[in-house]
């Protein structure tokens, strides 16, 4: 297996900028973790190494040079309990603004709530960001110690971008952001990536619209690869998988490119990789659906992370795209697109399932006219 080799030079495994503010120089992920563990005390990255409140207060008072009485007074004055504006026996709903509020922030919040209630407004970007933060903390620690991420493990933050097959998706924010640990394999990342290309159904079904098969492209075309630092990591877990990277390797040999190597993604862990932080890499599946993959951060796990390794890859961000509505009703999401269709206002044309059947079939389900119909999976399927 042609995995990235581990460097013996410790300085080479400490990331440094290749281009300032853009990306780092290549370094070995596992060696980078080892360099951190050499320089830190076990208590620095231990999940159970936090002091209790009394010990923390004593250390804080000593560092600040204040007495115990002053420390107790600070705790009483700065305690969140002193910020309550309601009786202790009442627990008001934090989402409900009192009708007689005088605080300007509450008045503005009340106006915004009333405006949102009068409009069909879904979550804005601030609400979605709050949801992303909740995903990081709500899961907490696992019930079983076997599912706990070990102390000293590394966590990678990975941005997955839209495939560059549509003009408006070329320059856009990440499609999704995933957290991975160093012990996860590239196959785990591949299984965690959601792409609408995997949901496509191939074939023409104008004569049998009720017999669209249940299988999707991902069930039939399972081949894929990642490309990191001159190595193609292939998905060869299933008998039907093909090495689609060989086409590129053979093409590169005829044009005097550097020699590329290969490895199996299911046998390659993130700790085995040599990568650049901030540098765009490639994920290719379905033959020609290409995504940019950018590792934006590599750090040690801490106690506030999701420590249940079964929940990884952990999605922390998911972009939302506009759905394509039916060309007739402009209400429902498109499910069929047709060509050579005399009933359609354009060619090709997108229809929801209801409008498609009402326009193209009689009451007995017989096809009207000569047209071609293909199942359509909207890009907003993962919204």
pLDDT confidence of residue 155: 93
Q: Name the 3-class secondary structure at 237.
A: coil
Instruction: Judge whether 187 and 266 are in contact, CB under 8 Å.
Output: yes
Interval 267-279: pLDDT, tens: 999 999 999 999 9
- pLDDT of 186 higher than 90: yes
Edge-to-edge order in the sheet of strand 289-300 = 261-264, 231-234, 224-228, 280-285, 289-300, 154-160, 176-181, 314-318
- pLDDT of 166 higher than 60: no
* Tokens describing residue 82: 């002193």
Listed residue (245, 250, 254) closest to 227, CA to CA: 245
pTM exceeds cut of 0.85: no
Distance CA 42, CA 167 (A): 49
Q: What is the mean pLDDT of the chain?
A: 82
* Tokens describing residue 38: 């050499």
Distance CA 42, CA 286 (A): 45
pLDDT confidence of residue 84: 67
Interval 13-32: pLDDT, tens: 788 888 888 888 999 999 99
Distance CA 164, CA 110 (A): 42
pLDDT band at 302 (very low <50, low <70, confident <90, very high): confident
Q: How many angstroms separate the Cα of 26 from the Cα of each of 7, 155, 237, 318?
A: 11, 17, 28, 28
């Amino acid at each position: 297996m042609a995995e990235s080799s581990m460097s013996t030079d410790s300085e080479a495994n400490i990331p440094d900028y290749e281009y300032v503010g853009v990306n780092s120089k290549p370094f070995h992920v596992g060696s980078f973790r080892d360099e951190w563990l050499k320089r830190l005390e076990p208590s620095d990255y231990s999940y159970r190494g936090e002091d209790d409140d009394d010990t923390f207060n004593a250390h804080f008072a000593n560092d600040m040079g204040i007495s115990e009485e002053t420390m107790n007074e600070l705790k009483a004055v700065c305690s969140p309990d002193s910020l309550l504006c309601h009786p202790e026996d009442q627990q008001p709903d934090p989402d409900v603004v009192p009708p007689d509020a005088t605080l300007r922030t509450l008045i503005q919040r009340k106006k915004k709530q009333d405006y949102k209630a009068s409009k069909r407004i879904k979550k804005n970007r601030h609400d979605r960001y709050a949801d992303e933060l909740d995903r990081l903390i709500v899961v907490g620690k696992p019930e079983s110690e076997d599912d706990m991420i070990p102390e000293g493990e590394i966590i990678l933050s990975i941005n997955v971008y839209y495939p560059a097959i549509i003009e408006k998706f070329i320059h856009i924010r990440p499609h999704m952001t995933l957290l991975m640990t160093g012990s996860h394999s590239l196959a785990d990342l591949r299984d965690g990536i959601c792409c609408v290309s995997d949901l496509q159904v191939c074939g023409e079904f104008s004569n049998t619209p009720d017999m669209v098969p249940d299988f999707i492209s991902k069930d039939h075309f399972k081949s894929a690869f990642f490309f990191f630092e001159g190595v193609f990591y292939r998905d060869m877990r299933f008998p039907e998988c093909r090495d689609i990277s060989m086409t590129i390797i053979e093409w590169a040999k005829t044009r005097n490119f550097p020699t590329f190597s290969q490895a199996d993604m299911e046998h390659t862990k993130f700790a085995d990789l040599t990568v650049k932080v901030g540098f765009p890499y490639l994920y290719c599946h379905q033959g020609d659906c290409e995504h940019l993959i950018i590792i934006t951060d590599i750090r040690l796990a801490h106690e506030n992370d999701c420590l249940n390794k079964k929940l990884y890859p952990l999605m922390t961000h998911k972009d939302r795209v506009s759905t394509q509505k039916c060309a007739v009703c402009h209400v429902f999401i498109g499910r069929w697109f047709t060509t050579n269709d005399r009933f359609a206002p354009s060619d090709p044309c997108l229809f929801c399932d209801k409008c498609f059947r009402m326009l193209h079939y009689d009451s007995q389900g017989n096809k009207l006219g000569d047209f071609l119909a293909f199942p359509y999976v909207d890009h907003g399927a993962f919204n």
